[in-house]
Structure 1
Amino acid sequence: MRFDLTDLRLFLHVADTGSITAGAERSAMALASASARIRGMEDALGIPLLERGRRGVRPTPAGRAVIHHARLILHQIERMRGELNEYARGLKGHVRLLSNTAAINEFLPDALAEFLAANPNIDIDLEERPSHAIVAAVAAGLADLGVVADMVDLGGLETRPFRADRLVLVVAKGHRLASQPGVAFADLLDEPFVGLNTGSALQAYLDTHAARAGRSLSFRVRVRGPIALCRVVERGVGIGIVPESAAHRAAATSAIQVVELSDSWAPRLLVLCARRFDELSAHARRLVEDLALSPQKSPVSAD
């Protein structure tokens, strides 16, 4: 077998996305080159590693074995890089981080910018996903770290506190709900909503709570990002639900009113999660130390 690290990373990306095209894009590789590499792996083994269908690909039993060993190999490579970096400055490390909507829009941009500026030898692959999907990916070894709401079932993952977060209702000034001190989510289900784009982790979270009430949200329009949502809400198009920090930031320049949600799931603690923090690469451990709340750090909150 003549597999190299590029082959292994590509195969993990293909398995993770269920698509050779998407795996190639994530690997910054041309589709023809990615397909040739996958075929080369299969030819070297003499068995198929992927089942190809109309809706994408999925690993065969042999492919799942490759995934298992590829994760172990690449994880060990990252640990080696982190340890050798202490002796050979400039050796690049890579951390894969998955995050929910609130953290990726409100808290991570500044935190990661500061970290990356201070650590030019570390690259971060950041992707947005719903909290439950992040837990599954981290547990399966498809990501080093995740940032999720602590109300999700974390299984056996280890966690560290990241930031405080609360979901709030935003309405236009003059809306009948603008004068309310608080409102329950169930009382909003007949209202027209301004939502976030399909694929947004926060929108998936809200859709789940609507489904638990036996309802679905009615959207006038979907937009990309909480700030854009607040700007549309300002025009009286509909109501929306966003993280409190985003709502107050938008309220400084938009004619919106922030109303508290009375539901028990509205206040949330965002946490960093990993299979085991002490088994992370040195680069990933450094990121955890930088991001995690400590007694010296106070939660970022609009309260």
Structure 2
Amino acid sequence: MVSVLESRTGLEAHLLWEDPLMIVSTSAKTSVEALKGPMIGLSAGIPLQTYIDAHLERDGITPNYRVCLPTLSAVYAVASTGGGSAILPLGTTRRLGVRTKNVLPIEKPWAQRDAWMLVKEGRTLDDVEKSFIDALLSFRDEES
């Protein structure tokens, strides 16, 4: 699965669901306030963190990271204690049970992402792969 799809050349692309980036904060009232305060992020080199940092930099924001951690659940665990704000995908906030009052939208086009499932065009899938794809698509349809 991918969340930023720049080209579909040679791929069958199946949109699964919207998965925008959100700010999780126990104290900030606005996304601007959250991004100016202490932040909790992912470890350097993790593609999502690289993506976030590049876009924040383009927006003229230099995040003040207190700590950078290897997983989204670790980032949330620290952010939920009041250690700082974090940027997480909406799906992650739902999976981890983040209280909606602690979730702030990011009103920037770069934060509006979708989850896509990609399959190489013309590839013959085995039964397990077909079942997995069918299950994801069924889940998507049940959630819509």
8 Å Cα contact 1:163-1:300 kept in structure 2: no
Q: Which residue number corresponds to residue 28 of structure 2?
A: 176
Cα deviations by residue, 1:218-273 (Å, 9 ceiling, x for unpaired): 21101122221112112222110111232234346x8x711122222333221123
Aligned to 2:56, the other structure's residue is in SS state helix
Give the conservation status (yes or no) of the 8 Å contact 1:227–1:247: no
SS in 2 for 1:149: coil
| Matching residue of 2:18 | 164
Quote the Cα distance in structure 1 between the aligned partners of 2:77 and 2:142. 23
Q: Is residue 290 from structure 1 mapped to residue 132 from structure 2 by the alignment?
A: yes
TM-score normalised by structure 1 residue count: 0.40
Change (3 A) 1:299 1:245: farther
Identity %: 21
Aligned to 1:207: 53
Q: Give the whole-Å Cα distance in 1 for the aligned partners of 2:130 and 2:115.
A: 13
Select the structure with the greater relative contact order (CA < 8 A; seq sep ≥ 6).
2
Provide the rounded CA distance (Å) in 1 between the counterparts of 2:142 and 2:22: 16
Query: Are 2:101 and 1:260 aligned?
Result: no
Unaligned runs of 5+ in 1: 1-146
The structural deviation recorded for 1:171 is 0.6
Residues 166 and 286 of structure 1, relative CA distance in 2, 3 Å threshold: same
Which one has a larger percent helix, Structure 1 or Structure 2? 1
Matches within 5 A, 1:16-165: 147-150=1-4, 152-154=5-7, 156-158=9-11, 159-165=13-19
Of residues 75, 84, 92, the one that matches 1:238 is 84
How does the TM-score come out when normalised to structure 2?
0.75
2:24 partner SS = strand
Tell me how far apart the structure 2 counterparts of residues 266 and 223 of structure 1 sit (CA, whole Å): 21
Give the drift of 1:189: 4.2
Instruction: State the one-letter code of the partner of 1:167.
Output: L
Matched position secondary structure for 1:162: strand
Q: Cα offset for 1:161? A: 2.1
Secondary structure of the residue aligned to 1:154 is coil
Per-residue CA distance 1:98-148 (angstroms, 9 max, x = gap): xxxxxxxxxxxxxxxxxxxxxxxxxxxxxxxxxxxxxxxxxxxxxxxxx21
CA distance in 1, matches of 2:93, 2:59: 25
Give the letter aligned to residue 277 of structure 1.
E
Aligned residues: 141
Deviations 1:134-179 (A, max 9, x none): xxxxxxxxxxxxx2124x422624222234312111012xx132xx
**Per-residue deviation at 1:299?**
5.5
- For 1:92, the equivalent position in structure 2 comes to none
CA change 1:299–1:191 in 2 (3 A) is farther
RMSD: 3.1
Give the drift of 1:297: 4.3
